[in-house]
Chain A
Amino acid sequence: MIKIAQLSCGTEYSSVQYEIEKAARSVGATIVHPDVSAGDIDKAVERFGFKPQSPQLKLMIARAVQLADRRYDADAVFIATCFRCAEGALVRNEVRRFIQDNTRLPVVTYSFTERLKAAQLLTRMEALVTIVTRKELLARERQTGITVGIDSGSSTTKAVVMIDNRIAGKDWTPSGDVIKSAEHVLENALKEAGVLMKDVEAIGTTGYGRFRLGKHYNAKLVQEELTTNSKGAVWLADRQRGEATILDIGGMDNKAITVRDGVPDNFTMGGICAGASGRFLEMVSKRLKIEVTELGALADNGNWRNAKMNSYCSVFGIQDLVTTLGDGKTFEDVAAAACHSVAEQVYEQQLQEIDVRHPIIQVGGTSLISGLVKAVGEVLGSTPIVPPNSQYIGAVGGAILSSGFLEGY
């Protein structure tokens, strides 16, 4: 049984502890709480260097010290504090950094509200377990044989056919019915690759519809998108060795993942607010009466400073847009402001939860919106790498990882 050490404050009084444990159980893991004696707490806080006022945060620090000193054995770490607690947010991030500096344990951080349900944590817990149990598989750098990856995302469904470490066929479509969308893109990808379904040796599924597709296709690999996207991203960007940060501004949630030699060791995934997701850019495009694919080029020719849009909420963001258009600002400036707003929020909400490692590899469908990539570069002070076929990361990761099963993984 994989042991996930929980370092947290407030979960038992927020009606979420049960949900955390349920999510862990559903992926074959168990939540553990490192033992700490009352006498060790002050010493641990002293050593850590940050002295919070709240005793439960002190306990959280003491538990982190137990893990760092190998006095308590765990396979992964889940760090959580209440959403909107400033003291908790400071400690959460510093504890995460402390664990990463002192251990090689994979870590995920989360700030919860009382509305947290196990399903929201499923992907994160599954990723933690995968990193622990499938290290060898995740370390694969080459795809072999004929394999397929299908990524059933919230906005789009993608399929990739890979043959001997190259992409031979690919297709995507807006997500509708999970099975029908997948069948459609898979048929086109197979056609492009010039192979028949019976020739396919392994299938890997990922994304929100992964379980249904996995069952439908009898897939060898059914995997959450954090690990498949990481693999796909480093393969596409040819950055399989060393460190990198993968940034995926998705249709419904954003992911920021740090990797070492292609294996994730820390990640954060939006959960409470979708105001800075790709969906907001779709809403902006709709209001501007253009296709979302045209938004990037439009933004490239605009100046975000001319049209302030910095709301945290997509609904208020559209209100900003309407007001700005009413003031006579150009579509170009508004498009640039929308991209800048998303980039800024991703920086504020996701990238503050991890230690950004260079290079930054920007992937996912939104990485094709050039104005957004430019905005991310401006906000971070470093231009992200956008690899070819960056929207296919999940499918590519699925195809690469599923090929591991052909070699007896």
Chain B
Amino acid sequence: MKVFIDPPNSLILFDLVERSGHEPLSSMAAIQEKIDKTEIDMPPMNVTLEDVMKGLKYAGIEVPSGIRGRLAVWGPMIEEAEAAVIMEDCPYSFGCVGCHRTNLMVRYLLKRRKIPILDVNYPNDEEEAKDLVVRMREFLGGLK
């Protein structure tokens, strides 16, 4: 199944989902696809004006361009997702999209889809980390 991970650039979440035999929907793939398009020259992310305008599908014109540009990247993946794993309170090094408002909107868009979602908190110690892995395995294993 296609599982959206939040933060969408978390390598650890990506790895856990992939090991469970599912397809993680992440920033890495979306951004990779963009930067591989050599005909577009809008470094560093190759998010173009057209992309930012596509973000209007998810948020109105009064919403800052940075949010619409981000939603243009993740919005289609959210629509495609069949399940999601959302991690709260994680440090920057674990993964982040930079904008709190975008985080709120991404999570709302996921919940609105009414797909299976696992909400987890960032583990503070080894015990919590083990518990997290177990919960994720159970959740991902139960997805059909």
Q: Which residue of A lies closest to B100 (CB)?
A: A53
Pairwise interchain contact B49-A9, C-beta atoms closer than 8 A: no
Pairwise interchain contact B65-A9, C-beta atoms closer than 8 A: no
Q: Which of B43, B44, B66, B100 contacts A14 (CB 8 A)?
A: B66
Pairwise interchain contact A55-B65, C-beta atoms closer than 8 A: no
B63 to chain A: which residues have CB within 8 Å? 84
- In the complex, A16 Cα to B51 Cα: how many Å? 12
Q: Which of B51, B91, B93, B101 contacts A15 (CB 8 A)?
A: B51
Q: Which of A11, A15, A52, A82 contacts B49 (CB 8 A)?
A: A15
CB distance from A267 to the nearest CB of B (A): 23
Pairwise interchain contact A15-B73, C-beta atoms closer than 8 A: no
Scan A38-81; emit 1 where CB is below 8 A from any B CB, else 0.
Answer: 10010000000000111110110000000000000000000001
Q: Which of B43, B62, B70, B93 contacts A13 (CB 8 A)?
A: B70
B48 to chain A: which residues have CB within 8 Å? 15
* Tier of interface size on chain A: 20 to 34
Scan B41-53; emit 1 where CB is below 8 A from any A CB, else 0.
Answer: 1111101110111
Pairwise interchain contact A13-B100, C-beta atoms closer than 8 A: no
Q: Which of A5-53 contact B (CB under 8 A)?
A: 9-18, 38, 41, 52-53
Pairwise interchain contact A10-B66, C-beta atoms closer than 8 A: yes
- In the complex, A395 Cα to B115 Cα: how many Å? 66
A81 to chain B: which residues have CB within 8 Å? 66
- In the complex, A59 Cα to B91 Cα: how many Å? 13
- In the complex, A87 Cα to B98 Cα: how many Å? 13
- Interface assignment of B1: CB less than 8 Å from any CB of chain A: no
Q: Which of A135-163 contact B (CB under 8 A)?
A: none
- Interface assignment of A113: CB less than 8 Å from any CB of chain B: yes
Pairwise interchain contact A56-B41, C-beta atoms closer than 8 A: no
- Interface assignment of A112: CB less than 8 Å from any CB of chain B: yes
Question: Which A residues form the contact surface with B (CB < 8 A)?
Answer: 9-18, 38, 41, 52-56, 58-59, 81-85, 87-88, 112-115
Q: Which 8 A-B pairs have the closest CB atoms?
A: A10-B66, A82-B64, A56-B98, A13-B69, A53-B100, A14-B65, A114-B52, A114-B65
Extra contacts besides A14-B47, A59-B98 (17): CB < 8 Å:
A9-B98, A10-B67, A12-B45, A12-B47, A13-B73, A14-B52, A41-B92, A52-B100, A54-B99, A55-B96, A55-B99, A59-B92, A82-B66, A84-B63, A84-B64, A114-B52, A114-B53
